[in-house]
Amino acid sequence: MLYQSVADHSEMNVINKFASYDCMLIDKIGYVEVEPVQVGLFFTLMHRRHKKKTTLITSNLGFQQWTLFLKNDHLAAASIDRLTENSHVINMKNCVSLRPKLDNG
């Protein structure tokens, strides 16, 4: 939705809408390739929400891999800085999956 808004130049309206949500969940960040304009939109949104609203993010990537995903060292570092300030980071790397095991028989 945010990326699509670039086509009709309404991205700031969409950012303002998303920035106003009290709580926002961004699920599975890093699963798909992103374009440079998407990186900028993501940073702008995170900057607008910083210290104002709750943002929850799930990812299979560690923070050290965000530069590969975002393809911009400076924006990755700034985004991580804003997201981790006054936050709780839950690392599930060594946790056993909570999903029930599927029966193969």
Our measurement of the distance from residue 82's CA atom to the centroid of its chain's CA atoms, rounded to an integer in Å, reads 11
Residue type, 58: T
Read off the pLDDT band of 97 (50, 70, 90).
Answer: low
pLDDT in tens, 56-71: 999 989 999 999 989 9
pTM equals: 0.81
Q: Write down the pLDDT at residue 57.
A: 94
Helix, strand, coil content of the chain in percent (nearest 5):
45, 10, 45
- Helix, strand, or coil here: 27? strand
Q: Write down the pLDDT at residue 45.
A: 96
The residue that leads in pLDDT, 36 or 95, is: 36
Q: Write down the pLDDT at residue 98.
A: 62
The residue that leads in pLDDT, 93 or 31, is: 31
